Amino acid sequence: MKAHTEYLWFNTDTKRDYVNITPQVAEAVRKSGVHEGMVLVSAMHITAGVYVNDAESGLIQDIDEWLEDLAPFRAEYRHHRTGETNGDAHLKSLLIHHEVIVPITEGQLDLGPWQQIYYAEFDGQRRKRLIIKVMGE
């Protein structure tokens, strides 16, 4: 079995952002030489996430508004008693989740026709990383 690891670094200009990372993940798969297997894509911070969905700007805006409705910023979060002000970012991360696993078939990401891989940032404007772990034969 082969394994290949890469890291992507982010420092978004805004507090919340959604970055299409499909090309970078596909490149990591290509470099790995894995023909059949899986790729794990995981945010390594508890205020970010990774998801698979359509790369349509209206949908991305809908996702952002949906997350803000479900986990809005509120000054009274208990987490803020620690001196932090990002309680909502932790909750948004739980809703999106921190990782995805995508199949690799014939050396390519095996995504559906509209599927793309996104890094979701909920407490940006600081340096964070993501791991890409390719595994297979």
| CATH number, position 47 | 2.60.120.460
Q: Three-state SS across 62-85? A: HHHHHHHHHCCCCCCCHHHHHCCC
Predicted pLDDT of residue 17: 98
Mean pLDDT to the nearest integer, 67-83? 96
Count of domains for the chain:
1
- Quote the domain boundaries for residue 125: 2-136
β-strands 99-105, 48-54 pairing:
unpaired
- pLDDT tens per residue across span 6-54: 999 999 999 999 999 999 999 999 999 999 999 999 999 999 999 999 9
What residue type is 56 in one-letter code? E
Give CA separation, 30 vs 8, 63, 120, in Å: 16, 30, 24
CA distance 110 to 115: 9
What is residue 11's predicted lDDT score, i.e. its pLDDT? 98
The number of helix segments (H) and strand segments (E) in the chain equals: 3, 8
pLDDT score for 29? 98
